[in-house]
Amino acid sequence: MNFWLFTPEISLAVFAIVVILLDLVVPRKGLLTLVSIAGIAVAAGFSVVMWGMSPQAIFSNMLAVDSFALFFKLLFLGIAALVILASTDYVSRFARFQGEYHALVLLSCLGMMLMAATMELISIYVALELTSISLYILVGFLKDARSSEASLKYLLLGAVASATLLYGMALVFGVTGETRLGEIAVVIQALAPDGVLANPALILGVVLMAAGFGFKIAAVPFHMWVPDVYEGAPTPVTAYLSVGSKAAGFAVILRVFYSAFGLPGWLSLDWGLVFAVLASIGMTLGNVAAIPQTNIKRMLGYSSIAQAGYIMVGLATVGLSSAADVAGRSGLIFFLTSYAFTNLGAFIAIIAISNKVASDRIGDYSGMGRRAPLLALALSLCLISLIGLPPAAGFMAKFYIFSGAVQHGLLWLVVVAVINSVISAYYYLRVVRVMWLGKPVSEERVPSSGALKLALVISCLGVLVLGIIPGYIIKLAEMAASMFVF
Amino acid sequence: MDFSFISTIIFLPVVGAILIAFLPGLSPRMIKRLAALFTFVPFVLSIVLFCNFDLAPGAVGGIQFEEKLLWIPAINAHYHVGVDGLSLPLMLLMTFLGFLAVLISWKVDLRPREFFAWLLLLETSILGVFCSLDLLLFFLFWEIEVIPMYFLISIWGTGRKEYSAIKYVIYTLFGSSMMLAGILSLYFATGSLSMVDIAQEGLAMVQSVMPAAAIFFLLLTGFAVKLPVFPFHTWLPDAHTDAPTAVSVVLAGALLKMGGYGMIRVCVSIFPEVAWAYAPILIVLAVVNVLYGAAVTLRQTDLKRLIAYSSISHMGYVLLGIFALGGVSLVGATLQMFSHGVITGLLFAMAGLVMHNTGERGLRKLGGLVRQMPVIAVVFSVAGLASLGLPTTSGFAAEFLVYIGSYSSPVFEGIRFCTVLCVLGIVVTAGYILWMLQRVFYGPVREQFSGVADAGILERVYMFAFVAVIMLVGIYPAILTDVIKTGVMPVVGLLGG
Give the closest-approach CA distance of B78 to chain A in angstroms.
11
B154·A414 Cβ contact <8 A:
no
Q: What is the mean pLDDT of chain A?
A: 90
Residue B143 with chain A: CB contacts under 8 Å? 389-390, 395
Q: Do A400 and B75 count as a contact with CB atoms less than 8 A apart?
A: yes
CB contact under 8 A, A391 and B144: yes
Residue A349's pLDDT is 94
* Interface touch A395/B143, C-beta < 8 Å: yes
Is there a contact between B185 and A411 if contact means CB atoms under 8 Å apart? yes
Local confidence band at B367 (pLDDT 50, 70, 90 cut-offs): confident
Q: What is the pLDDT of residue B60?
A: 61
Contact of A390 with chain B, judged by CB distance below 8 Å, is answered with yes
Chain B residues in contact with chain A using a Cβ-Cβ cutoff of 8 Å = 70-75, 136, 139-141, 143-144, 146-147, 150-151, 154-155, 162, 166, 169-170, 173-174, 177-178, 180-181, 184-185, 187-188, 209-210
Residue A84 belongs to a domain: no
pLDDT-derived band of residue A162, with 50, 70 and 90 as boundaries?
A: very high
Contact B170 A407 (CB under 8 A): no
Interface test with A, best of B69, B153, B184 (most A CBs within 10 A): B184
Is the per-residue pLDDT at B203 higher than 70? no
Instruction: Give the pLDDT confidence of B226-277 residue by residue, as tens digits.
Output: 989 988 999 999 999 999 999 999 999 999 999 999 999 999 988 888 899 8
How does pLDDT run across A284-308, given as a tens digit for each residue? 999 999 999 999 999 999 999 999 9
- How far is the alpha carbon of B405 from chain A, nearest alpha carbon, in Å? 37
The pLDDT confidence band at residue B25, using thresholds 50, 70 and 90, is confident
Interface pTM (ipTM) of the complex? 0.88
Distance between B72 CA and the closest CA of chain A, angstroms:
5
Taking each helix axis from N to C end, the angle separating A296-320 and A225-232, rounded to the nearest 10 degrees, works out to 130
Q: Cβ A390–B140 below 8 Å, yes or no?
A: yes
pTM over 0.80: yes
The shortest CB-CB distance from B184 to any of A402, A426, A470 is to A402
**Whole-number Å distance between alpha carbons of A114 and A267:** 27
Considering only CB atoms, A415 lies closest to which of B74, B136, B181, namely B181
**Do the Cβ atoms of A406 and B166 come within 8 Å?**
no
> For A47-68, what is each residue's pLDDT tens digit?
999 887 888 888 888 888 889 9
Asked whether the beta carbons of residue B140 and residue A395 sit closer than 8 angstroms, the reply is: yes
**Residues spanned by the domain of A440:** 261-486
Q: Which residue does chain A place closest to B139, by CA atoms?
A: A390
Whether A403 contacts chain B with CB within 8 A: yes
A59 in any annotated domain? no
* pLDDT average, residue stretch A388-395: 91
CB interface of A with B, residues 407-466, below 8 Å: 407, 409, 411, 414-415, 418-419, 421-422, 425-426, 429, 432-433, 436-437
- What gap in Å lies between CA B44 and CA B38, rounded to an integer? 11
* pLDDT at residue B260, as a whole number: 93
pLDDT (tens digit per residue) in A234-281: 999 999 999 999 999 999 999 998 888 877 677 777 888 889 999 999
Per mean pLDDT, which range of A72-81, A309-318, B7-16, B453-462 is the poorest? B453-462
A403:B187 CB<8 A: yes
Q: What pLDDT is stored for residue A444 in this prediction?
A: 81
Which chain B residue shows the shortest CA-CA distance from A471? B72
B72, B147, B188 ranked by CB distance to A406: nearest = B188
Q: A471 contacts in B (CB within 8 Å)?
A: 70-74
The answer, yes or no, to whether residue B109 has pLDDT greater than 90, is no
Residue A446 domain flag: yes
Nearest chain A Cα to B111, which residue? Answer: A370
CA–CA min distance B49, chain A (Å):
27
- Among B8-22, B182-196, B223-237, the least confident range: B182-196
With CB atoms and an 8 Å threshold, state whether B155 touches A400: no
pLDDT of residue B108: 86
Q: Do B184 and A471 touch (CB under 8 A)?
A: no
Which of B143, B155, B170 has the CB atom closest to A426's CB atom?
A: B170
Chain segment A325-357, per-residue pLDDT in tens: 888 889 999 999 999 999 999 999 999 998 888
- Asked if A474 lies within 8 A of B72 by C-beta distance, the reply is yes
Residue A176 resides in a domain: no
**A457 occurs within a structural domain:** yes
Residue A408 resides in a domain: yes
Mean pLDDT of B23-46: 92
Check B72 against A470: CB less than 8 A apart.
yes
Query: Can you give the three-state secondary structure of chain A, one letter per residue?
Result: CCHHHHHHHHHHHHHHHHHHHHHHHCCCCHHHHHHHHHHHHHHHHHHHHHCCCCCEEECCCCEEECHHHHHHHHHHHHHHHHHHHHHCCHHHHCCCCHHHHHHHHHHHHHHHHHHHHECEHHHHHHHHHHHHHHHHHHHCCCCCHHHHHHHHHHHHHHHHHHHHHHHHHHHHHHHHCCCEHHHHHHHHHHCCHHHHHCCHHHHHHHHHHHHHHHHHCCCCCCCCHHHHHHHHCCHHHHHHHHHHHHHHHHHHHHHHHHHCCCCCHHHHHHHHHHHHHHHHHHHHHHHHHHCCCCEHHHHHHHHHHHHHHHHHHHHHHHHHCCCCCCHHHHHHHHHHHHHHHHHHHHHHHHHHHHHHHCCCEHHHHCCHHHHCHHHHHHHHHHHHHHHCCCCCHHHHHHHHHHHHHHHCCCHHHHHHHHHHHHHHHHHHHHHHHHHHHCCCCCCCCCCCCHHHHHHHHHHHHHHHHHHHCCHHHHHHHHHHHHCCCC
From chain B, the residues in CB contact with A419 under 8 A are 174, 177
Q: How confident is the model at residue A38 (pLDDT cuts 50, 70, 90)?
A: very high
Tally of domains within chain A: 1
Instruction: Please name the member of A390, A419, A432 whose beta carbon is closest to the beta carbon of B177.
Output: A419
Residue A55: the pLDDT is 83
A–B interface: beta-carbon pairs under 8 A: 92
Q: Considering chain A, what percentage of its residues have pLDDT values greater than 90? A: 59
Which of A418, A437, A469 is closest, CB to CB, to B154?
A: A437
The verdict on a CB contact (< 8 Å) between B74 and A471 is: yes
Q: How confident is the model at residue B196 (pLDDT cuts 50, 70, 90)?
A: confident
pLDDT of residue A268: 77
- Residue A93 scores a pLDDT above 80: no
Q: How does residue B193 score in pLDDT terms, banded at 50, 70 and 90?
A: confident
